[in-house]
Structure formats: structure tokens, C-alpha cells
């Protein structure tokens, strides 16, 4: 216990040096961290300087109405490895799935972490909170709502991981039988960062935590409370298949010539134009691929109510050709205008959902 406290009081630089990690190793670690946070490599010296002095924050991870997919995603994070993240970057003091303790001992660990790190710890939440009946989801006899309110009271910030915690997600899908709500609908007096996705990209989860550790602050957020650095551009704008969209070359079925040649999946229901996430650059499975690269359209899983946004295989109505340009300007102008981009995106989606139009060849001919 005394050793644990000593380790907590050490800076990350001291801790790594004690483990025999050379300065080169540390710089490599910082290069991977910069890449993970989507920061340019020129930031590596600044990151090294900040991380050298950073102390491991206590993290309490609460799991409510969820499927554990977000934890599955995180534990497959590779850069740096989750072991490094947990043992070097943060002090993970409570997590149902990963902790050894159970029952009273587990709850005691949560209370001890809250008490010892009052005002400084981070609460990570995955899963939505049922308000219709507390009995729908409880832990150790404590309702999700009560546990969230109690744990968040002394927190520095809250990170809502996954579309369930960020926007209600699958439990919130129509007709929302449990009365599921997002973390942001309950927590109003603490900063809440939404890391949406079903699940979120693992390096985006770790990137947000690393940002807090490195700079002691939360990253710039968009209108939906998501970090701009990862959610600032649409899947469509960063998609390597975008040139095919611009040329009007589309796959019409999953096994036609267009599909085999890797043409745009827009007509097969790809929600890339209305979805903001980092899949096209961060990718999945150790950077191997991502849904569009493997031949399936984007489901839009990082957007609110994606379950209720019409069929996954229904094409969106034709987006306004100016949307991309408008969004580009707005995102470039910063977070205040980012709100407008979010509104623009929402209104376009609402229009698409209301119309449920599909695109025909004639429509595209008219456009071009």
C-alpha cells in the first residue's frame, strides 16, 4: 500500500526511469502518444516535457447499461499498450471487469479512491442510466443513478465512453423501455467529454485520457461534447473512397464490379457524410483496416440515435454539395462555430430521416 502511494506520488518520468526505461524509450513513448492524440510530431518535445512531470490521475470506471464492448475495445488498444496506459498513465482504481476485488472490497476501493483523490480523479462511464425504474440496472444494490451522482460529486471531469454513455445508445433506442439517458443529461456541474462510438476507437479513448494527463486539461470539444481532434471531420471527408464519390462511381451491390474495385459505398447506405469520427485515419485492429476499407458502409455509430436513423442499408438523401465546404470552414474556425457545424449536421440528418429518400441514377445525373 505504501509502495502504491509512493508510486502515485512519482511523476511519470520518474516512474519510467525507475523501471529502467531510457530517454530514447521515453521519446518513443511520447511519439506514440502524440500519434495517438492526433497531434503533429513537432509536439513530441512539448509532450515529453509535460509527461515527464505528469502524475498518474486516479480513474474510476463505472459500467451501467452496456455490453462491455467499450472495455473490449480499450483492452485491445495498442499504442501505447493498455498495460502501459493503466500502470503508467493512470491509476485505474475501480473497474468491474478488470479489477480483482469484488463485492464489498470493490465498493470500498471506489470509496477510498474518491476520498483520497477528492476533486482530482476522473470518472469514466460506459453505458446509459435507466431512469424508468432503478431496478433495471444496479450494482451492489446501488442504482446506476445514485452511483453516478455519488461518484461524480468529487470528480475533476467525466468521460462518457461509448454511444450509450454519450447519447443513450442502444438502450435509448425507440421505444426506450428503461428510460435510458446519457451521462450528460444527469451531470450538469462537471465537464463531460463524450467519446462516442459503438464501440469508440480504442486510441481515441486512450488519447482523451492521455490529453488530460499531458496537458492537465480537457481537449477542445464540438457541439456534441466530443473532442474536435478526433471528431472534427466527417468520415466522408477523410475517406480514401471519396474520389469515387466525386466521380460518381458507386457500388450498387456488395458483389458487383464497383464493390470489387473499391468504389464509393454511399448507395449501399454508408452514413459517412453525416458521421464524425476518426476511423478513416486511426483505423481498427492495430491500424489494419476500418469498415469502409473492408467493404461495408459506415453505420454512423458515433452519432446520436444512430439506431433510429433509418435502415443501415438505406442510402442517405443526396447531401447538399456545399455541406462539405461549409463544414470545413466552420470546423477550421474553432469550437464556437463548431456548434454551428453540429447543427448543420443534425439538420441534414433530420431532413434525410424525414424524407428517407434513396438515390437513383437519375438524381446523380441531374447533379452532375
Partner 1 sequence: MQRLQDIAIKVESPEGAQASHGNALPILHEILHALQRFSTEGEQSCIDLRSLPFGPGDEEELLRLLGRGEINVTMDALGESTIWETAFSGVWIIDHRNAEGEPVALQIEIGPVPQIVFSQQEDIVDAIDRLEAQLNDH
Q: Is residue 198 a known part of a binding site? A: yes
Q: Is residue 270 a known part of a binding site? A: yes
Q: Is residue 264 a known part of a binding site? A: yes
Secondary structure tally for the chain: helices H, strands E: 17, 9
Asked if 128 and 168 touch (Cβ cutoff 8 Å), the reply is yes
Closer CB to partner 1, 25 or 177, in the complex: 25
Phi, psi of 265, rounded to the nearest 5 degrees: -100, 15
Closer CB to partner 1, 259 or 353, in the complex: 259
Binding site residues, partner 1, CB under 8 A: 21-25, 27-29, 31-32, 34-35, 38, 40-42, 44, 78-81, 238-241, 243, 260-262, 280-282, 285-289, 293
Asked if 80 and 35 touch (Cβ cutoff 8 Å), the reply is no
Closer CB to partner 1, 27 or 359, in the complex: 27
Output the CA–CA distances (angstroms, integers) from residue 95 to 36, 67, 92, 129, 139, in the order listed: 23, 14, 7, 17, 12
Minimum separation from the CB atom of position 192 to partner 1 (A): 26
Q: Is residue 279 a known part of a binding site? A: yes
Q: Is residue 67 a known part of a binding site? A: yes
Label residues 277-304 b or e (16+ Cβ within 10 Å = b): bbbbebbbeeeeebbbbeebbbbbbbbb
Q: Is residue 239 a known part of a binding site? A: yes
Closer CB to partner 1, 260 or 326, in the complex: 260
Closer CB to partner 1, 29 or 136, in the complex: 29
- Cα–Cα distance measured from residue 212 to residue 3, given in angstroms and rounded to the nearest whole number: 25
Minimum separation from the CB atom of position 87 to partner 1 (A): 13
Residue ranges of the binding site for [4Fe-4S] cluster: 67, 70, 164, 198, 236, 239, 264, 270
Residue ranges of the binding site for [3Fe-4S] cluster: 279, 298, 301
Amino acid at each position: 500500500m505504501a509502495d502504491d502511494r509512493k508510486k502515485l506520488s512519482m511523476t511519470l518520468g520518474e516512474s519510467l526511469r525507475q523501471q529502467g526505461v531510457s530517454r530514447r524509450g521515453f521519446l518513443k513513448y511520447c511519439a506514440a502518444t502524440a500519434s495517438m492524440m492526433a497531434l503533429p510530431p513537432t509536439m513530441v518535445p512539448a509532450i515529453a516535457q509535460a509527461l515527464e512531470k505528469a502524475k498518474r490521475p486516479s480513474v474510476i470506471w463505472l459500467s451501467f447499461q452496456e455490453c462491455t464492448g467499450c472495455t473490449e475495445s480499450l483492452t485491445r488498444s495498442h499504442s501505447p499498450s493498455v498495460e502501459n496506459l493503466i500502470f503508467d498513465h493512470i491509476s485505474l482504481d475501480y473497474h468491474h471487469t478488470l479489477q480483482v476485488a469484488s463485492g464489498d472490497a470493490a465498493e470500498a476501493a471506489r470509496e477510498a479512491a474518491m476520498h483520497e483523490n477528492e476533486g482530482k480523479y476522473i470518472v469514466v462511464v460506459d453505458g446509459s442510466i435507466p431512469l424508468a425504474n432503478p431496478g433495471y440496472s444496479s450494482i451492489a444494490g446501488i442504482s446506476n443513478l445514485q452511483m453516478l451522482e455519488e461518484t461524480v460529486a468529487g470528480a475533476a471531469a467525466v468521460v462518457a465512453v461509448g454511444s450509450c454513455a454519450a447519447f443513450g445508445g442502444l438502450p435509448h433506442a425507440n421505444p426506450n423501455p428503461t428510460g435510458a439517458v446519457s451521462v450528460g443529461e444527469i451531470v450538469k456541474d462537471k465537464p463531460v467529454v463524450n467519446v462516442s462510438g459503438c464501440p469508440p476507437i480504442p486510441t481515441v479513448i486512450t488519447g482523451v485520457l492521455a490529453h488530460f494527463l499531458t496537458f492537465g486539461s480537457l481537449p477542445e470539444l464540438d457541439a456534441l461534447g466530443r473532442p474536435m481532434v478526433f471528431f472534427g471531420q466527417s468520415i466522408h471527408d477523410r475517406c480514401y473512397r471519396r474520389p469515387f464519390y466525386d466521380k460518381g462511381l458507386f457500388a450498387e451491390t456488395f458483389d458487383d464490379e464497383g464493390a470489387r474495385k473499391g468504389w464509393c459505398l454511399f448507395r449501399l447506405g454508408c452514413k459517412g457524410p453525416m458521421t464524425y469520427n476518426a476511423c478513416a485515419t486511426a483505423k481498427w485492429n492495430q491500424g489494419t483496416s476500418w469498415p469502409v476499407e473492408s467493404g461495408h458502409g459506415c453505420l454512423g455509430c458515433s452519432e446520436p440515435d444512430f439506431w433510429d436513423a433509418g435502415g443501415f442499408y438505406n442510402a442517405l438523401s443526396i447531401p447538399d454539395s456545399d455541406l462539405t465546404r461549409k463544414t470545413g470552414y466552420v470546423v477550421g474556425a474553432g469550437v464556437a462555430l463548431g456548434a454551428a457545424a453540429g447543427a448543420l449536421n443534425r439538420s441534414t440528418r433530420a431532413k434525410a430521416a424525414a424524407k428517407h429518400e434513396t438515390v437513383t441514377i437519375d438524381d446523380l445525373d441531374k447533379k452532375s
